[in-house]
Amino acid sequence: MDETLDKLRLARTEGVGPVTYRRLLARFHTPEAAIEALPDIARAGGRDTPPKVPSDREAARELEKLHHIGGRMVFVGDADYPPLLALLPDPPPCLSILGDLAALQGRGVGVVGARNASSNGQRMAEALASDLAAKGLVVVSGLARGIDAAAHRGALHVGLTVAAVAGGLDQPYPPEHAGLQAEIAARGAVITEAPFGTAPQSRHFPRRNRLIAGLSLGLVVIEAALRSGSLITARLAQEANREIFAVPGSPLDQRCRGTNDLIRQGAHVTESAEDVLANLPDDPRRTGLARTPLFARTTAEGLSDETALWNEPPDPDIDIAAAQSNILGLLSPSPTDLDDLVRRSFLPASAVAAALMQLELALRVEVLPGNRVCRV
Amino acid sequence: MDETLDKLRLARTEGVGPVTYRRLLARFHTPEAAIEALPDIARAGGRDTPPKVPSDREAARELEKLHHIGGRMVFVGDADYPPLLALLPDPPPCLSILGDLAALQGRGVGVVGARNASSNGQRMAEALASDLAAKGLVVVSGLARGIDAAAHRGALHVGLTVAAVAGGLDQPYPPEHAGLQAEIAARGAVITEAPFGTAPQSRHFPRRNRLIAGLSLGLVVIEAALRSGSLITARLAQEANREIFAVPGSPLDQRCRGTNDLIRQGAHVTESAEDVLANLPDDPRRTGLARTPLFARTTAEGLSDETALWNEPPDPDIDIAAAQSNILGLLSPSPTDLDDLVRRSFLPASAVAAALMQLELALRVEVLPGNRVCRV
């Protein structure tokens, strides 16, 4: 239990994202040791005050509230951690879950699309989700208005459905979907990365979208305008090597421009559940879904497979302060690829890794899932 | 002029299709010599009465009527013969044309689709045709209700459009498109394989569809149900190595099932003229559009490139009567590939060719464009 509290405290620390969480555990072996090391690392990154780590008591309060509404918390490396999500390059460290954990172990298929969907689009989503659920697939979506809600409803009374949400589990969004969320929790599962009590804001949605992509073997997009959130989810799914499906529509309807464009880029033309079933991998572990990030490898079994990089002793010949300013000079607010950064810095990868961790805990950079980093 | 009359008489002879027309000219060099040889060949094929060849007078009457309404006749090998059509494996021997022959020399793009098209589909067809015509492309279609008419109308006042029709030029079909046909003839061209005076019947439409495919560098399909005529045109265009474009639509609309299926099979997703322009070859002669049929090659220049096969003297060791019954036993009313037939007959290709010509003129088999043959 203490270890759970420490994991939660570490995961909820300012500046600790999925990448740094994993690296800290790889380097310090226990969350307790990592938490103890945080002030020094942040100071080395140029931060005067130590990072705000929640207290034991605060962490216990969050767990208690979650348990009170029947929820559970699962950490990367736990046996219950959703196996498809664990295949992401940098899986979310800490998940809050309401409902049946078994729903997260199944063959997920994402069904997402426009909030202002047409009635035909919603009919399509409901029928497709129902047919997929009847075939034993778990329909994953985002609880939003329009396509998402139609997909959940189509699957609900037929099989399993999972809602990935942006805010805390006690804050259903949109509010009129509180009842739908309760139904999903009763028959499937609701999952979030956000701490209990978090009111969902637009900055939380990218993580919600990544959960949808990560929990799914394939993602079906039904009605999506160009530059819409559903296309971002599709990009995340594609980066995670998941299959992309799109339902075609009239070019005269702006809501179909994004889906038609996905098809132009190679998404499977999808008119019915058969189109999905025919193109979905049977077993994700046989399909090469997992990718190897630059600095480390994470497996469904947890953190055992880290490369030695983060455990290497810092090279005494490297001036880490100089490395930091070198790296900061190469970064901008838009994400840079880690490979590029290492190449352009002319530093050993281990020095870049050490400097980035210090800078991240000093809240001066953000290391994003998928080997990207940006200046804060 | 006599040669023109003889070509027309040969082309209008019972049992003489595009393949046999070409082969007869290759073997006998002039249409006159071919006509003289017809009775013997038909008799060798098992036919008692000689084939019905139109008289000089009848042929002259047809030409006269055509000229009277301002039409012209063009034969394969003529300088005016449409160059894209000449690239088909077995181009139509004889075309009747109203309007501007130059329209048939341009970069054609077919635009076809459902007769019972939605108003959105018709809007799409009109806008697309207008944009394509504005870019200097010749919009080719079939004068039918729905998408065809919308495509012609979209192109008419912007650039060139060509209507390929199933019946005689004096028999516009559907009758309410008589005015549209006249407008097209005045600004573009109307073209048919059918003799003057022919009332269009359903059996004439496959030849009309082949004209549309053959006159086009690429074919755009807008709204087409599964198993519809537009999909047959698309198959013909694909067999002639033309680019296929399809406008996507809702899976809930039966009229989009065929177009979505074309996209599933690799057709270009088409939302605007840009999608067409980006994927259309510049010069058909540079793109390998022409294919080599089994027995002969036809070029844009006409008949000069025939292989020697048809001119080979019949092998005296082959019993042609036995070969005929062998071949008839291998054929059925559904088309068989010529390659297959040669293989399964264990006969030399030259013997199969000779026997087939006799059988076709005896009206016992039909040799179809694209190296296929069926029993009548």
What tens digit of pLDDT does each residue of A238-273 get? 999 999 999 999 999 999 999 999 999 999 999 999
What is the DSSP code (8-state) at residue A52?
-
Q: Which residue has the higher pLDDT, B288 or A23?
A: A23
Cβ pair B142, B112 in contact under 8 A = yes
**Neighboring chain A residues of B270 at a CB cutoff of 8 Å:** 251
Q: Say what the pLDDT of residue A313 is.
A: 56
Its pTM stands at 0.83
Residue A101 clears pLDDT 80, i.e. is over it: yes
Rg (alpha carbons) of chain A, rounded to whole number:
21
Do you find a cis peptide bond into B174, omega within 30 degrees of 0?
Answer: yes
B255 inside 8 A of chain A by CB: no
Prediction ipTM score = 0.78
Beta carbons of B248 and A257 less than 8 Å apart: no
- Of A123-127, A181-185, B44-48, B67-71, minimum mean pLDDT range: B44-48
A279 inside 8 A of chain B by CB: no
Residue B278 Cα, gap to closest chain A Cα (Å)? 13
Q: Say what the pLDDT of residue B292 is.
A: 40
Q: What is the mean pLDDT of residues A288-300?
A: 42
A252 inside 8 A of chain B by CB: yes
Residue A54 clears pLDDT 50, i.e. is over it: yes
Please tell me which residue of chain B has the smallest CA distance to A272.
Answer: B251
Q: Say what the pLDDT of residue A72 is.
A: 97
Cβ pair A149, A173 in contact under 8 A = no
Place of tokens 């001066």: A364
Torsion of CA A357, A363, A367, A368, to 10 degrees: 150
* pLDDT tens for each residue of B283-332: 665 555 544 443 443 333 333 333 444 555 566 777 888 889 999 999 99
What is the DSSP code (8-state) at residue A337?
E
A120 inside 8 A of chain B by CB: yes
- Judge residue A179's burial from the number of C-beta atoms within 10 Å of its C-beta, 0-12 exposed, 13-18 middle, 19 or more buried: exposed
Q: Say what the pLDDT of residue A300 is.
A: 34
Residue B4 clears pLDDT 90, i.e. is over it: yes
Nearest by Cα to A363 from A11, A14, A9:
A14
As a whole number, the mean pLDDT across chain B is: 89
Place of tokens 């090597």: A241
Q: What is the mean pLDDT of residues B28-41?
A: 94
Beta carbons of B250 and A123 less than 8 Å apart: no
Partner residue facing A249 (CB), from B123, B250, B261: B250
> Do β-strands B161-165 and B268-269 pair in parallel, antiparallel, or remain unpaired?
unpaired
Which residues in B167-204 are b (16+ Cβ under 10 Å) and which e? bbbbbbbeeebeebbebbbebbbbbbbbbbebebeeeb
Q: Say what the pLDDT of residue A301 is.
A: 33
Best mutation target among B122, B252, B276 (most A Cβ atoms within 10 Å) is B252
* pLDDT tens for each residue of A142-158: 999 999 999 999 999 89
Please tell me which residue of chain A has the smallest CA distance to B263.
Answer: A269
**Neighboring chain B residues of A120 at a CB cutoff of 8 Å:** 250, 252
B250 inside 8 A of chain A by CB: yes
Nearest by Cα to A353 from A305, A298, A295:
A295
Q: What is the mean pLDDT of residues B235-243?
A: 93
What is the DSSP code (8-state) at residue A249?
-
Q: What is the mean pLDDT of residues B147-168?
A: 97
Partner residue facing A120 (CB), from B120, B123, B250: B250
> Do β-strands B365-368 and B336-337 pair in parallel, antiparallel, or remain unpaired?
unpaired
**Neighboring chain A residues of B131 at a CB cutoff of 8 Å:** none
Beta carbons of A271 and B260 less than 8 Å apart: yes
Residue B240 clears pLDDT 70, i.e. is over it: yes
User: Bridge partners of A110?
Assistant: A140, A219
Q: Say what the pLDDT of residue B113 is.
A: 97
Do you find a cis peptide bond into A174, omega within 30 degrees of 0?
Answer: yes
User: What CA–CA distance (Å, rounded) separates A228 from B366?
Assistant: 56
Cβ pair A113, A225 in contact under 8 A = no
Q: At what angle do helices A18-28 and A2-11 cross, to 10 degrees?
A: 130
B166 inside 8 A of chain A by CB: no
- Of A176-180, B60-64, B287-291, B336-340, minimum mean pLDDT range: B287-291
What is the token pair recorded at A182? 């309760």
